[in-house]
């Protein structure tokens, strides 16, 4: 009891605490889980959910991330009609269909992946992002199908594909159907590689399970946000299995960069400009500036890693080119043979004319 309550007449209660709570609107402050700073949410939104005190990158929704990444005009959502299907009629404590309905209501998304087509600094791109708040960003049929169709569209239009991953792995409620998405997404990424269409994977916190073992680490360029976690199994499970203490920072993006699992670490605020310059390198277009000048880039790939996208040759053209190359090689072999014979005769003449040297 406060001192003011003691001196107030009986039946009169102090409303100081209630008044104070009523005058502070809810939803205006958020505590950083890393440095415990209390942050003003509008300022945090303007800073793209990055703590201004310690630089901690908080999780961000899929739609918000794509809105920040793509240019303002001309973007459109693609393959939004793909929805999850409860083929196994799965049930644990709740039916799977009820869990899906709850996740759809709370997030406003049909499943854990959002795909959009737009531009990045004027360059057409297709970008997909995981919604971690939808079943932990887990990959089931709908996620794998939407990613595959987005990749096929990028392949058809020969424009880059960028993926922002945040997932706990394959969705257990869909069993083998979800595991098959690993093979399906990996296969379509291989088609992108074969056609020379750039695929850039951006790892955000966290990436685990089947997503990390398939589409998240198969990019031509694998980028991560600072302090993001990525691996197949979690560190607690690994420690219990091997009965050893894991090194500090294990599975964090800085650890992965040091051990060669990813190519670079980029701050969220620098992703747009950095990826625009990297894609310009891949496509062989004029670059707006050096990637190394970007303040958030920890390490940039070598220039030789940039492979320009080339149109596929027809079978007839390829056959003519192969025949011409074979003919050229045959002529070169004959020339080399004649040159070798002449050189051999010349050396024989020199040996006959020049007396042997004496070591004395």
pLDDT computed for residue 348 by the predictor: 44
Residue by residue, DSSP assigns 26-71 as TTSEEE-TTT--EEEHHHHHHTTTB-TTT--B----HHHHHHHHS-
Within a 10 A sphere around the Cβ of 35, how many other Cβ atoms? 12
DSSP code of residue 296? T
pLDDT computed for residue 290 by the predictor: 44
Q: Regarding beta strands 199-207 and 221-224, do their DSSP bridges make them parallel or antiparallel, or are they unpaired?
A: parallel
Q: What would the pLDDT profile of 289-348 be if each residue is shown by its tens digit?
A: 444 444 444 444 443 334 444 444 444 444 444 444 444 444 444 444 444 444 444 444
Mean pLDDT by 10 residues, the chain (360 residues): 62 52 68 91 92 93 96 94 94 95 96 97 97 96 98 97 97 95 98 96 96 96 96 93 93 95 96 95 70 42 41 43 46 46 45 41
Tokens of 73: 């005009």
238 by Cβ neighbours in 10 Å (0-12 / 13-18 / 19+) ranks as middle
Within a 10 A sphere around the Cβ of 170, how many other Cβ atoms? 26
In whole angstroms, what is the distance from residue 115 CA to residue 201 CA? 14
Say if residue 163 carries a ligand binding annotation: no
In whole angstroms, what is the distance from residue 49 CA to residue 57 CA? 6
Please give the domain boundaries of the chain with CATH numbers for all domains.
Answer: 59-305 (3.90.226.10)
In whole angstroms, what is the distance from residue 124 CA to residue 271 CA? 16
In whole angstroms, what is the distance from residue 200 CA to residue 204 CA? 13
In whole angstroms, what is the distance from residue 153 CA to residue 92 CA? 37
The three-class DSSP label of residue 204 is strand
Q: What angle do CA 172, 177, 178 make, to 5 degrees?
A: 50
Query: Which of 280, 229, 224, 221 is closest to 252 using CA atoms?
Result: 229
Give the residue carrying structure tokens 């502070």: 24
The three-class DSSP label of residue 168 is coil
Say if residue 35 carries a ligand binding annotation: yes
pTM: 0.72
Torsion of CA 202, 205, 211, 212, to 10 degrees: 80
The answer to whether 167 and 216 are in contact (CB under 8 A) is yes
pLDDT computed for residue 48 by the predictor: 92
Q: Tell me whether the omega of the peptide bond preceding residue 206 falls within 30 degrees of 0, making it cis.
A: yes
In whole angstroms, what is the distance from residue 82 CA to residue 146 CA? 7
Task: State the distance between the two ends of the chain, measured CA to CA, in whole angstroms.
Answer: 115
Alpha helices in the chain (DSSP H): 3-7, 16-23, 41-46, 62-69, 96-107, 141-157, 175-195, 209-212, 235-242, 253-258, 271-283, 315-353
The answer to whether 140 and 177 are in contact (CB under 8 A) is yes
C-alpha separations of 108 from 122, 144, 200, 206, 360 in Å: 29, 19, 27, 21, 95
Q: What would the pLDDT profile of 85-130 be if each residue is shown by its tens digit?
A: 999 999 999 999 999 999 999 999 999 999 999 999 999 999 999 9
Query: Which of 208, 195, 254 is closest to 227 using CA atoms?
Result: 254
Say if residue 32 carries a ligand binding annotation: yes
Give the residue carrying structure tokens 């088609």: 191
C-alpha separations of 203 from 82, 206, 263, 266 in Å: 24, 8, 11, 10
């Amino acid at each position: 009891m406060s001192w003011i309550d003691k001196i107030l007449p009986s039946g009169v209660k102090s409303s100081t605490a209630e008044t104070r709570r009523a005058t502070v609107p809810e939803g205006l402050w958020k505590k950083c889980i890393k440095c415990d700073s209390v942050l003003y949410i509008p300022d945090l939104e303007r800073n793209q959910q990055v703590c201004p005190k310690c630089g901690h990158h908080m999780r961000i929704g899929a739609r918000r991330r794509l809105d920040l990444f793509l240019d303002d005009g001309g973007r459109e959502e693609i393959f939004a009609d793909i929805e999850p299907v409860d083929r196994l009629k799965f049930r644990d404590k709740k039916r799977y269909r009820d869990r899906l309905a709850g996740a759809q209501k709370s997030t406003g998304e049909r499943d854990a992946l959002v795909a959009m087509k737009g531009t990045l600094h004027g360059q057409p791109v297709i970008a997909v992002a995981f919604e971690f708040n939808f079943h932990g960003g887990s990959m089931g049929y709908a996620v794998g199908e939407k990613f595959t169709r987005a990749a096929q569209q990028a392949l058809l239009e020969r424009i880059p594909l960028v993926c922002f991953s945040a997932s706990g792995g394959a969705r257990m409620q869909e069993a083998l159907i979800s595991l098959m998405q690993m093979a399906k997404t990996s296969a379509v990424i291989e088609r992108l590689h074969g056609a020379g269409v750039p695929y850039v994977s951006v790892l955000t916190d966290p990436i685990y399970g089947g997503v990390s073992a398939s589409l998240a680490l198969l990019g031509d360029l694998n980028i991560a946000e600072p302090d993001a976690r990525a691996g197949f199994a979690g560190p607690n499970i690994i420690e219990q299995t091997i009965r050893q203490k894991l090194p500090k920072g294990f599975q964090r993006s800085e650890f992965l960069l040091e051990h060669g699992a990813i190519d670079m670490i980029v701050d969220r605020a620098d992703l747009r400009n950095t990826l625009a310059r990297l894609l310009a390198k891949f496509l062989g277009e004029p670059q707006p500036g050096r990637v190394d000048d970007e303040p958030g880039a920890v390490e940039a790939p070598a220039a030789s890693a940039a492979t320009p996208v080339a149109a596929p040759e027809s079978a007839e053209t390829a056959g003519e080119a192969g025949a011409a190359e074979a003919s050229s090689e045959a002529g070169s072999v004959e020339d080399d043979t004649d040159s070798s014979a002449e050189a051999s005769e010349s050396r024989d003449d020199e040996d006959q004319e020049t007396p042997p040297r004496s070591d004395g």
